[in-house]
Amino acid sequence: MLELIRTNDPVLISFVESLLRDAEIGFFVADQNMSILEGSLGILPRRVMVDREEAERARQLLRDAGIEHETRPDNDNG
């Protein structure tokens, strides 16, 4: 899986989840349960992960939604 976004913003994560779900793109929110350990302070960022095969489609979806500035650089070297 590749990291699509990394953020502390729960509203942004919810929006991205909704976009991906509606587009039927599989995803996983990593570090979501870390909020329990940090006391829900929002210090630790959550990561939205997508399958390699869906990464470009997911990035295009975020571009179309006007939030491309939130995407992580494509650092996949293989």
Q: What is the pLDDT of residue 37?
A: 61
78 within domain boundaries = no
Which is it for the CA torsion 68, 72, 4, 31, positive or negative? negative
Q: What is the pLDDT of residue 27?
A: 96
24 within domain boundaries = yes
β-bridge partners, 6:
47
- What's the whole-number mean pLDDT along residues 21-32? 93
The pLDDT-based confidence of 78 (bands split at 50, 70, 90) is very low
Write the pLDDT tens digit of every residue in 9-21.
Answer: 889 999 999 999 9
77 within domain boundaries = no
What CATH number is given to the structural domain containing 57? 3.30.70.790
Domain range holding 44?
2-70
55 within domain boundaries = yes
CA angle 69, 31, 34 (to 5 degrees): 125
Q: In this predicted model, which residue has the larger pLDDT, 37 or 3? A: 3
* Distant-in-sequence, close-in-space partners of 65: CB < 8 Å, separation ≥ 6: 15, 19
Q: Number of folded domains in the chain?
A: 1
76 within domain boundaries = no
Task: Select from 18, 9, 8 the least CA-distant residue to 62.
Answer: 18
8 within domain boundaries = yes
